[in-house]
A and B are shown apart, each in its own frame.
Chain A
Amino acid sequence: MDADKHFVTGVFDDEDVLLKAVKKVRDSGVKIHEVYSPFPVHGLDEVLGYKRTRLPIAAFLFGMTGTSLALIMQIWMLGYDWPMIIGGKNFASLPPFIPVTFEMTVLLGALGMVATFLIISDMKPYKWPRQFDLRSTDDKHIMAIDLSHNGSKSKDELSRILKDSGASEVNEKNF
């Protein structure tokens, strides 16, 4: 694992202060490692400069996979593999296949997207996360700054920038 990681963490009480602080800290040339919040803060991804997630595209592709699989399965099974006369209707007609096709689209779309989310976010049951501050799931927003990525700035300088931008506390955290 990453041995010897040194971080400076700023504790914020309020999300509006946090949003302004993120902007200020980034403007002063500091690279922010990540901001941890107890609830989603709207606009935080924008001020941090994150690109929009492509998860909707993943969901769409998984959904389309479900649609195609369902159609191929039904047409092949009832149309070619074992055609059966049911009410004198066509062996493979589309309308009665719609419900199963729809359900399979939703099922694969949902499961595929959630699986993708868990994988790209590196979330699994046996993983202990790096905890910068235990209050980040309760009521504080924690801004973590990696010292090794901000080589030109000293600890004191970083904590001064954090304090100036409205952090209620500044701590050090080593892993």
Chain B
Amino acid sequence: MSVNRIYMKRTPLYQQHADLGGKLVQFAGWEMPIQFEGILAEVKNVRSYTGMFDVSHMGRLEISGTDSPDLLDKISTSHISNMSIGRARYTLICNDAGGIIDDTIIYRTNENTFLMIPNASNEGSVIIWLNQCIDDLGVDVQLNRLTDATVMIAVQGPQSTRMLQSICSSDLSQIRQFHSIESNISGNAVKIATTGYTGENGYEIISDTVHGPEIWSTLIDMGVTPCGLGARDVLRIEAGLLLHGSDMDAKTTPLEAGLNRFVSFDKSDFFGLSALRSQKASGIKKILIGFQLEDKGIPRHGYNIIYNGNVVGEVTSGTYSPSLDTGIGLGYVPINVFERHHNLQIDIRGRMAKARIVSLPFYSRKK
């Protein structure tokens, strides 16, 4: 008799994780390490030294063709066609109603070639959306999925430049934030980008699947701490970075999610523009807040946010913050609550813990 068995995808670094004793869990269909030594130790290493993450589960889509700059302008809330070669930009992909299909980073690698990094859990829906747009608009754009042919490693932390420089042929200090270059690590071609999801300075390296595991092992030998998804989640929440699927989805707009700065209302057209314009004019009804607990406890996804005895919203992400030594979280509340009241409560399994709305990010690195 057959049993229900879940087949999980593995990144080319799977064996490295297993050998290092990483605790493996299912995430967006992938078998990924949630932690190695321990979440708090890994967070501390990224904040004070350097840590690295296997982020090969995220999508890597090459978008090329003469119409690719125009198509990307059409599907992004930010300006893409005016980016210079080597530039990277965080942007949102919205549906016609202004709901967020995914948030992504787009790199311009050539005049008519771009690299898009969708979230692992959204890669399928982004590909469908792109193909649909290409067909409907009849444009000359080719989509090439590089996800399985490449490895992506995020090296993050204050010592990341020094660590990476010793094995890299390019002068890393010359790359500005949110840029990428074609480079070499140990003689093999890689793309190196100055992007990340931790709130620290850092790099994301894209390599082929043959050399990716070698780069990972080299960095391990150099003393870079391997980190799992657990630390990544704590770091990104502390840095006030949202996670699609938790903190925003296709029913949330960028204005509600507090991502206004990534919406270019001066653009002539993009999917969702008219819906977002009218929402901007009429005003949003709910808004994403960051809050800090004043009582003991950890807010978690799905816990109720309480004001004056009434449930006014739900926690979308929460964690213990080692940098602040308190519970922190994100969630949505009605705009009138946000405008008048900054002292809320979080229902932690029946216990009402005091929480205060604070501005994001919770943590910023010292510059």
Q: Do A and B come from one complex?
A: no
Residue numbers of B with Cβ under 8 A of A are: none
Residues of chain A touching chain B, judged by Cβ–Cβ distance below 8 Å, are: none
